[in-house]
Amino acid sequence: MNNPGKLIPLHGGYLKLKSFQIAQLAYDVTVRFRDRYIEKRSRTHDQMVQAARSGVQNIAEGSQASGTSKKTELKLTNVARASLEELRLDYEDNLRQRGLAQWPPEHPALMRFKARRCATLEQVRVWVEEERRGMKSVPVRERPCVSVTSAQLVANAALSLLNLACYLLDKQLAAQGEAFVEEGGFTERLYRVRSERRMHG
């Protein structure tokens, strides 16, 4: 702990967390994807957005809860991780059911996407447009047998974002687990603060 005598340590600051930023962008992308490519009567129409929102909200709530309960922080971060995993499976299912390819991380289009380090929905949209324009400039005989659609581009970009968010959350969970073991929760801090005051009182 930075200050072992402090009852409630610094907490929150989730807006600066990379996991929160990436999850929030994945949420924005998912809302747009849902509205454009998911049938409204489909069960996944709302489920995808709910899972995306749950990921964002639970990262934020876990960060806020960390001041008084490391246990709650761990629990909420784990809920966020599970929600984003559920969303990842929905995107994978969507691609499979449409007969569209899920690209490996080293796919050229995804490499270009990752190099962009998109931070906003608009930046993702521009990337999709440029990829579509780039395909049109390739001679017909050199194009893939199946043309790449905007839905396929967006779904694979979303999966790339979710893979990164899940990786970052795995690291957060490991760090939070270590902090809980080393520092304890609110009750342990309260005992330490009271003991110190008695010693110096």
Average confidence score pLDDT of the chain: 86
Going 84 to 89 to 93 to 96, the CA torsion angle's sign is positive
DSSP letter at 9?
Answer: -
In one-letter notation, the amino acid at residue 55 is G
Average of per-residue pLDDT across 38-56: 94
Give the residue extent of every domain in the chain. 14-200
pTM, full prediction: 0.82
181 contacts: CB under 8 Å, gap ≥ 6:
none
19, pLDDT greater than 70 = yes
Q: Which of 115, 99, 113 is nearest to 156 (CA)?
A: 113
> Nearest 10 degrees: CA dihedral of 123, 129, 132, 138?
-90
- Residue identified by tokens 């991380």 is 105
Q: How far is CA 199 from CA 6, 9, 97, in A?
A: 16, 21, 67
Q: Could you tell me how many helices (H) and strands (E) the chain has, helices first?
A: 7, 0
32 three-class SS? helix
| pLDDT (0 to 100) of residue 173 | 94
Question: Comparing 188 with 82, which gets the higher pLDDT?
Answer: 82
Structure tokens, 110:
């995804």
